[in-house]
Structure 1
């Protein structure tokens, strides 16, 4: 009897040691390629949904021609450039490096005419609030500026190349209309700060909501998914615990 009890105790201690070792490995294991660590600190949850109207401090238009960076010359070494926190950029497929003069900008409204892939947003390192109208984005493994985004608002815009929402760890709101991801990452529920998700008239790609889990989303205030095109299916896990839910598509099960 004593021998059996001793064996049971030894087995229990061995199992506890294995669990502890696994936890230690999980905590110290390096991130996989293209994976971004979620913030350690507790985030501040948004309680108000972002407004779609957008007023900016300055507007620049490319008008389908190469941008003349000389128009930015008056802002160079000008202390007033620090007061500029928002920009409207019309028909820019490439945002010039000279835009770095506005290093305090945290909001950008992009309006497209040529529908080309937007490049150069890394020149605005404090960008947190992105509004896009009829744009095209290709976010590959080298697209690091998106990790600071907190709000994405887009209309008639497609986003390709995003394989995980963990690459946008600070995202609080994503509001899309007639827009979408070519492949919608299923890990959106892991975003600690996410408060509002509104996918209206979903276009580009498909979303299987049954593979999305919001049950651990402490900040979430509202989710809305709408489509006329049978490109959204199912219901997300944890939807019944979210204060405001609006799911309207043709394949609920």
Structure 2
């Protein structure tokens, strides 16, 4: 049982409650125009395009495969920028047990783990096993997801998951398809299902003026989820679009919202009964 791991951040305070170890899995089934980590989307094809561009010679081409030397790497991200497949030469294939061996080194200092991506639910069996190991040692487990896995059909994974941080890119289906390439019917279904099971920890929406109707999206998401707030409070995270890491062909056409715009959206959420609102 293997997953392709992009990176593991030992300590993170922005990926759920408390100090957490954040694990980023490789591969995503969406193509979000504002994706800020596109190097987690694809699979390394060992084409070698990144090798000659590496300024520290941390990459080499051996036996028709790209080889990575972590000691020489200075994390300049040049390899990402030269990859034609939206991938990274620095990934590793790991079992749940191998990831747990990394996580357990941080046990005295973390509250739990959060698994993100790419899209981590492309590896449901891996997540279920990893989360079972983690929960057995008293740590909490969170999934950071685009919501394209039908959680209702994965009861074992849901049982091992303490909460899901769910991206809802837009409420209108056509807007969602234009932004991501995907219809959002399964995502909205997941939002309702997870909320009904007290598993929806957080909803996030990225705001970029002119890309979609942000006000309509927020109001409709609020109306959809407000009946579930008595079951479990749901955090709403409003994320200001930023161009860092975004592919140049998309970044040039996207706008950054003002602080006043973000405060306005937060006010809409508060008026609808949401109390835990974060602007980043």
TM-score, L = length of structure 1: 0.34
Higher relative contact order (CA 8 A, sep 6+): 2
Please tell me whether Structure 1 or Structure 2 has the larger radius of gyration of its CA atoms: 1
TM-score, L = length of structure 2: 0.31
